[in-house]
Structure 1
Amino acid sequence: MSSSNRTGPSPLTFTLTGIPGLPMSSCWMALPLCCLYLLMLLGNCTLLWMIKTDHSLHTPMYYCLFMLAMADLGLSLSTMPTMLAIFWFEATSLRFEACIVQMYFIHSFSAMESGVLVAMAFDRFVAICYPLRYGSVLTSSLLTKVGGVIFMRGVCVVLPVAVLIKKMPFCSSQVLSHSFCLHQDMLRLVCGDVRVSSLYGLTAVIFTKGLDSLIILLSYMMIIRAILNIVSQEARAKVFSTCISHLTAILVFYIPLLGLSIIHRFGEHLPPLTHTLLADAYLLVSPVLNPLVYSWKTKQIRRQILTLLCWRWTQQRV
């Protein structure tokens, strides 16, 4: 197969794929997707607004939650244009440069979210294992530096991936497997040697999600050990309940990510629908569920939401 010429009159474009088995323009998919994105925007923007305006929420745990909501917003907004364009307008073509930009933002915000989950695990570790030192260890200055490191790591670690793939020659077939651009999906369409790009992509994943998941695992091993040392069973349950929201966020982020990584490398024989559903779950479920879980499980946020709803109802009555 011949390599496409990006400098010629016909610019290189990729063809995005909807959900296998469904018509491209389908209200059955477009309406639920719009509802999911609206729910994600409403949930995360509400969290950001409450944490910013309510001074009682200006604590390390809620600063970490603020960063998580920002990462969730970035991750969802990176996929929203192409997904809605496909199911509303059957717009499946995407220019090569736009595809690289989308791929860069998806992987960058994904790395940032992984880093925020590590920061939240450290917050729970200090709160449970060293409660008397919580305020002195997790200062505003430290959290600002941690946020900066998380942001810069997400920005810098993915940049070589975009630079490397921009120089690759692509074959005549440019049909991607998803409704958005992912590095591994683009890499399989390259006609040249992909070893350097593939190796760096794998190294970047190990350095971000692999290292992060190991740190989170070690943190929770020490947290569980500290909880088991508590004599009262009621106190154990109360302490462990403070970790439920964070554990849920970890599971809804890492389980689809792990599944997607495995099937991209070893699941060529699996039906395309499996790839699509895992990729969509990885990029859509976490940003939608996180605000709901934290609003439901966190007393302060739940109280603020109820107060806001009561105030709105009172204003309408007046």
Structure 2
Amino acid sequence: MSDTAASLQRKITSAEDLQSVVRTMKALAASSIGQYEQSVRALGDYYRTVQLGLSVCFRSSGSAELMPRERGSAVAGAIVFGSDQGLVGQFNEVVAGYAVKALTALPGGAEVWAVGERVHGRLADAGLPLAGLFPVPNSVKAITPLVGRILVESTARRGRGEVTELHLIYNRPTPDTAYTPVSQRLLPLDERWRRGLAERPWPTGNLPEVMGSATTALRALIREYLFVSLFRACAESLASENASRLAAMQRADKNIDDLLEDLHGTFHRLRQSGIDEELFDVISGFEALSGEA
């Protein structure tokens, strides 16, 4: 069925309205990327400060005894960061596929906490045992409450002996591709990790000392280390999500531009065809009148 001028005009109007929405989402995604990337950069200085503090504690004698010991049979838990909303391209598929490969390779597999309904559904479809679901933060300020909930849940599980390892799996922003999936074993804090921090060079010639109780200082710094690691993973995942959404909206914007170009071309051809038909009718009528005269 051929389009009429009225139907084409309706399609053009609908496409222009959709393009307006797409461009608004592009602007929001671009703004959000900057917000989360800035938070990651700001967190970097604090993260280095926490590492330096841990380095000082681990230089002290006897600090190794304060480290949690690894158990013989490890029960793994994992936090997988995804999205609650769509229009993010292959963002959830990529991180879910990476999580499935990484976690099924662990001895005994792992229980999973999903951050985001979309990735939760994909992990469930893959058959991974799911321990819980957390909503995705919608701003930088909302990351802190989420991290607090994750720490409370994971600490309770570790206290009951249900989980002895904790892994983070999320998409990290990259300059070449919008993001790439990565994993980090957050717990337990093993001897290799302790030794690496203890051997970390101090930035100045004056080595500091721990004031007060070394045990209290070390425990406080470890809590901050866990908090910062989770906060950074969440912020990088959110930056990657918005980068993926921005790329998807850019593709949609280009496709709508191409569609509008085709619709406008068809509309103008149809309009010109109607004008030509009217002109032919006028000419035919004139010639018929001239012949009768």
TM-score category of the 2 structures, normalised to the smaller one? under 0.3
Which structure shows the higher helix fraction? 1
TM-score norm. by structure 2 comes to: 0.28
Where relative contact order (Cα < 8 A, 6+ residues apart) is larger, the structure is 2
